[in-house]
């Protein structure tokens, strides 16, 4: 079944048409710089790549242009469902959901938790409901996978009323990636589907780790928002909260302005003063840029410490799985992290690591218990698979309870 996967952000809309049965991508692309004169629609069909000007298009015109493109390519009438990435589902969703008026209302209720993302996600849903009135539409949440965390993992040690009255708790993100990668790891590494303990490390521009026990998330590093946890490209990760009031006074600015710096000018770019991009930092470090090397060292230390804390959440560890742009490609970063975790029984296989574990079904350690491995993520495919499963079961009369789909909490 072919599924249109949509990821609508504040100034861009990523899309892909994917055959959910085998992962084949018929077309993929991004409409970006929406609302500006430089708006473009960039897409890829097999080896062919093209970029078209959208002349200041905002979301609606951009999605219309995507539909026109799909018609031009002859795939529009082959689409059987639409899967939307939705960033924040709060504690309201523990799985993917067929989109109904009730689901839309609940996503709207989560806007205070995801003020930057949820409005754009909702806009994508509304426009595609207008453009594809007859097709089943499904919401796939970044937060849903982590709804199985126990209270000791999701509670912050703040007044309990902040949790009950203001929804202050750890939600976690990248759930679609952690779920996909942990499922793949079980198959790829030959782990027991009924009894496994995996730490997934999604290391891209945003970074988070998750502790996955028998298919369920038991803990994760991102929190109420994605700024919590490990050092990232531009985000600080966890810091002493007093830094916020200290810097507010020191810079004579608002808490929001300090938060903006913690989200956009910290992490790798903050320490290096050079770039948020790991490849750029590795190249600079190799030519003697000391702060680039320091940023990479801090990053690896932060991820290794977080991994060790995830071992505590699991009680044991079978596999540490690297994914995301850095996790899948940055050989030296993986090596540094695995070496820092040597005390826990990990021993790097430098040769296997240099080739991303390809000869050993992903494994990059000599040790097999525990092992470290590389598993490529594919969030779009996971969204397509959920959408196909729900669309197949979708009947207007039974949308409230679908086998295999999520449920509203």
Nearest distance in Å: CB 256, ligand ADP? 24
* Among candidate residues 136, 204, 114, the one with its CA nearest the CA of residue 396: 136
Closest-by-Cβ residue to ligand ADP is: 325
**How far does Cα 145 stand from its chain's mean position?**
11
- In angstroms, what CA-CA distances link 247 with 243, 261, 270? 6, 10, 15
Phi-psi region of 19 (alpha: psi -120 to 50; beta: other; left: phi over 0): beta
Smallest gap from residue 282 Cβ to ligand ADP (A):
6
- b/e 151-172 (16+ beta carbons within 10 angstroms → b): eebbeeeeeeeebeeebbbbbb
- State the nearest-atom distance from the C-beta of 79 to ligand ADP, in Å: 24
Q: Which of 42, 142, 195, 277 is catalytic?
A: 142
Give yes or no for a contact between 203 and 333, defined as CB atoms under 8 angstroms apart. yes
Q: Which of 321, 298, 297 is nearest to 375 (CA)?
A: 321
Return the residues of window 164-223 that contact ligand ADP according to CB under 6 A: 204-206
Q: Is 12 in the site for ligand ADP (CB under 6 A)?
A: no
SS3 content of the chain, % helix, strand, coil (to 5): 45, 20, 35
Strands in 151-247 per DSSP E = 197-203, 207-213, 216-220
Within 301-330, the residues that bind ligand ADP by CB under 6 A are 324-326, 329-330
CB nearer to ligand ADP: pick between 15 and 154: 15
**Count, residues near ligand ADP per rule CB under 6 A:** 13
* Secondary structure element (H or E) that encloses residue 353, with its range: helix 350-354
Query: Closest Cα to residue 27, out of 57, 47, 1, 51?
Result: 47
Q: Return the number of the residue (215 or 325) whose C-beta is nearest ligand ADP.
A: 325
Decide the pairing of beta strands 25-32 and 13-19. Answer: antiparallel
* 267 versus 370: smaller Cβ distance to ligand ADP: 267
Which residues 322-381 are close enough to bind ligand ADP by CB under 6 A? Answer: 324-326, 329-330
32: which strand partners? Answer: 40
Considering the complex, state which of residue 78 and residue 205 has its C-beta at the smaller distance from ligand ADP: 205
Is the CB of 205 or the CB of 225 nearer to ligand ADP?
205
Separation between Cα atoms, residue 71 and residue 19, nearest integer Å? 17
How far are the Cα atoms of 108, 120, 140 from residue 111, in angstroms, in the given order? 5, 10, 16
Measured from the CB of residue 233, what is the shortest distance to ligand ADP in angstroms? 6
Nearer to ligand ADP, 100 or 329 (CB): 329
Residues 223-282 interacting with ligand ADP (rule: CB under 6 A): 233, 277-279, 282
Residue closer to ligand ADP, measured from CB, 103 or 374: 374
Q: Could you confirm whether 19 is annotated as catalytic?
A: no
Quote the distance between the C-alpha of residue 183 and its chain's center: 15
| Minimum separation from the CB atom of position 129 to ligand ADP (A) | 27
Please report, as ranges, the residues that interact with ligand ADP according to CB under 6 A.
204-206, 233, 277-279, 282, 324-326, 329-330
- Just list the catalytic residues: 142
């Amino acid at each position: 079944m072919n599924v249109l996967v949509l990821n609508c952000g504040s100034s861009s809309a990523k899309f892909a048409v994917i055959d959910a049965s085998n992962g084949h991508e018929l077309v993929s692309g991004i409409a970006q710089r929406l609302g500006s004169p430089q708006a473009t629609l960039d897409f890829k069909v097999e080896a062919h790549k093209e970029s078209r000007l959208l002349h200041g298009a905002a979301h609606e015109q951009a999605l219309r242009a995507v539909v026109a493109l799909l018609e031009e390519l002859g795939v529009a009438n082959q689409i059987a469902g639409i899967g939307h990435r939705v960033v924040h589902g709060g504690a309201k969703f523990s799985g993917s959901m067929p989109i109904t008026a009730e689901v839309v209302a609940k996503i709207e209720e989560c806007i205070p938790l995801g003020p930057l993302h949820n409005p754009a996600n909702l806009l994508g849903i509304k426009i595609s409901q207008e453009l594809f009135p007859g097709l089943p539409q499904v919401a796939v949440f970044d937060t849903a996978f982590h709804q199985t965390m126990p209270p000791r993992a999701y509670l912050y040690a703040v007044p309990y009323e902040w949790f009950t009255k203001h929804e202050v708790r750890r939600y976690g993100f990248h759930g679609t990636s952690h779920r996909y990668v942990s499922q793949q790891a079980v198959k790829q590494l030959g782990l027991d589907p009924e009894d496994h303990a995996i730490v997934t490390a999604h290391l891209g521009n945003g970074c988070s780790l998750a502790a996955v026990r028998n298919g369920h998330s038991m803990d994760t590093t991102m929190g109420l928002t994605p700024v919590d946890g490990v050092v990232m490209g531009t985000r600080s990760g966890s810091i002493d909260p007093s830094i916020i009031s200290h810097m507010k006074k020191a810079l004579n600015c608002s808490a929001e302005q300090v938060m903006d710096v913690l989200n956009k000018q910290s992490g790798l770019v903050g320490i290096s003063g050079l770039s948020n991009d790991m490849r750029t930092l590795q190249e600079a470090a190799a030519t003697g840029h000391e702060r680039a090397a320091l940023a990479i060292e801090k990053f690896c230390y932060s991820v290794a410490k977080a991994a060790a804390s995830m071992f505590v959440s699991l009680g044991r560890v079978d596999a540490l799985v690297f994914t995301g742009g850095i996790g899948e490609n940055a050989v030296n970063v993986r090596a540094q992290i695995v070496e820092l975790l040597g005390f826990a029984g990990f021993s790097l296989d430098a040769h296997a690591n240099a080739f991303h574990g390809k000869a050993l079904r992903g494994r990059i350690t000599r040790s097999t218990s525990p092992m470290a491995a590389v598993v490529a993520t594919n969030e779009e495919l996971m969204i397509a698979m959920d959408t196909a499963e729900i669309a197949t079961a979708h009947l207007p009369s039974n949308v409230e309870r679908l086998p295999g789909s999520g449920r509203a909490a």
